[in-house]
Amino acid sequence: MSHIVIVGAGECGARAAFALREKGFEGEITLIGAEPHLPYERPPLSKDGLAGAEPPKYVADAARYEEARITVLTSVTVEAIDRRRKAVRLADGRSIDYDRLLLATGARPRSLPGVSENAERIRMLRTHADALGIRGALAPGRKLAIVGGGFIGLELAATARKLGAEVVLIEGLPRVLCRGVPEEIATVVAERHRQEGVEIICGARIAELEAGDSGARVHFADGAPLHADLIVVGIGAVPNTELAEAAGILVENGIAVDETLRTSDPAIYAAGDCCSFPLSHYDGRRVRLEAWRNAQDQGTLAAANLMGAAEPVASVPWFWSDQYELTLQIAGLADGAATTVRRDLGDGAFILFHLDGEGRLIAASGIGPGNAVARDIRLAELLIAAGSRPDPEALSSPKTKLKTLLAA
């Protein structure tokens, strides 16, 4: 009977394990995670999950894993992959043989040079334990400094303000959400935060972060230091590729996989935040995505291909963020757009459609209260997948139903 081992007990690894059973795999499945928890969802950690702090939002409870005959090893670190023997070596000395191996090792927060990751007053947000450590500083009368104006930093700022903490957000680039979010939408987000009392400092050059017993300081290259009760660093993520590299597996901005998620070793696949893959919708461009839906989609796809399906990645990248009453959604990748068309939906909601030089829709970015943009972003996603070249005037007019463009 064959054995599939999954290293990485996050959203992607758990999804792959259950999908294997759903697709009829009858062999052994072992899911290995370094954290003490069963697999849980990470997006809530910067939103409602942080506000509540306990417990994590589990992908499934222990009974479901037992029912599906999935062995879950928690608090276990994989130290090495022995490709010749087809085995993984654990930190406790055990060795587990595999017939097929899935690496779903995820990513870790990018650190600032010279900053101790164990400083009580300087933290990062990736795990449930991180959220618990941050939660205590989110209260009236407390001051939080956030380094990084990406999704994590801004979501954390919104949550902190809801809980009454004073917030200063520091970004080294000229504006927040510089990577992958159009300036028009980033401006709306920044203004909404300012309305809530968040101080946003862009173009900042940080010389040092200092932690003490009673607080922390951000020292700038010029200007007076900023005092806070807690500093959270959220400046992006780094893929966890060390296991793959040490085993001689090809790495290229993540564990390099082909269109079926197979690595340079035919018995080993990789999926989720840790891997880079060619995207057919963008002429085979190699990308790495840190997104909840991508983790789910690739977990399911990896399961099929571990069983021999050889199905290519076909999903369109999709991202979302909730901040206050606003929801931001992006489908596709807008890099290389030659034309952008705006569609107003009312109540402050709008969508930007991004087309390449040949008129092909390559991305759509939207923002609005609640689910105001959700339906049209979903239809835009389908248009992108179909390689559509819609009429820009039709895209801009709210009177034109996107469904009709899809039918055409």
pLDDT digits (tens, 9 = 90+) for 263-287: 999 999 999 999 999 999 899 999 9
Tokens of 41: 């969802």
User: What's the pLDDT score for residue 336?
Assistant: 84
User: What's the pLDDT score for residue 114?
Assistant: 66
3-state secondary structure 236-285: CEEECCHHHHHCCCCECCCEECCCCCECCCCCEEECHHHEEEEEHHHCCE
Q: How far apart are CA 204 and CA 215, in angstroms?
A: 21
Q: How far apart are CA 404 and CA 408, in angstroms?
A: 6
Number of helices and strands (H, E) in the chain? 11, 26
Torsions phi, psi of 209, nearest 5?
A: -110, 130
User: What's the pLDDT score for residue 381?
Assistant: 97
CATH number of 111-233: 3.50.50.60
Kind plus residue range of the DSSP H or E element containing 393: helix 392-396
CA dihedral of 262, 265, 270, 273, whole degrees rounded to 10? -110
Contact 366, 328 (CB under 8 A): yes
User: What's the pLDDT score for residue 408?
Assistant: 76
Q: How far apart are CA 94 and CA 48, in angstroms?
A: 38
Assigned CATH topology for domain 3-108+238-306: FAD/NAD(P)-binding domain (3.50.50)
User: What's the pLDDT score for residue 52?
Assistant: 62
Contact 377, 273 (CB under 8 A): no
**Residue 369: how many other CB atoms lie within 10 Å:** 13
Rg (CA), the chain: 22
Task: Map out the domains of the chain as residue ranges.
Answer: 3-108+238-306, 111-233, 325-407
User: What's the pLDDT score for residue 112?
Assistant: 83
> For the chain, which residues score pLDDT lower than 50?
none
Q: How much is the pTM?
A: 0.94
Q: Look up residue 66 and give its amino acid.
A: E
- 325-407 sits in which CATH class? alpha beta
Q: Is the dihedral of CA 14, 16, 21, 26 positive or negative?
A: negative
Burial of 1 (0-12, 13-18, 19+ CB in 10 A): exposed
Torsions phi, psi of 135, nearest 5?
A: -55, -35
Q: How far apart are CA 160 and CA 88, in angstroms?
A: 41
Contact 318, 291 (CB under 8 A): yes
Q: How far apart are CA 109 and CA 146, in angstroms?
A: 14
Contact 294, 277 (CB under 8 A): no
Contact 193, 158 (CB under 8 A): yes
Nearest Cα to Cα of residue 5 among 80, 107, 103: 103
User: What's the pLDDT score for residue 180?
Assistant: 86
Q: What is the DSSP letter of 175?
A: S
Distance of CA 310 to the CA centre of its chain: 25
Burial of 59 (0-12, 13-18, 19+ CB in 10 A): buried
User: What's the pLDDT score for residue 38?
Assistant: 96
**Residue 142: how many other CB atoms lie within 10 Å:** 18
Q: How far apart are CA 264 and CA 246, in angstroms?
A: 13
Nearest Cα to Cα of residue 273 among 319, 307, 327: 319
Contact 197, 161 (CB under 8 A): yes
User: What's the pLDDT score for residue 284?
Assistant: 92
* Domains 3-108+238-306 and 111-233 belong to one CATH topology: yes
Torsions phi, psi of 404, nearest 5?
A: -70, -35
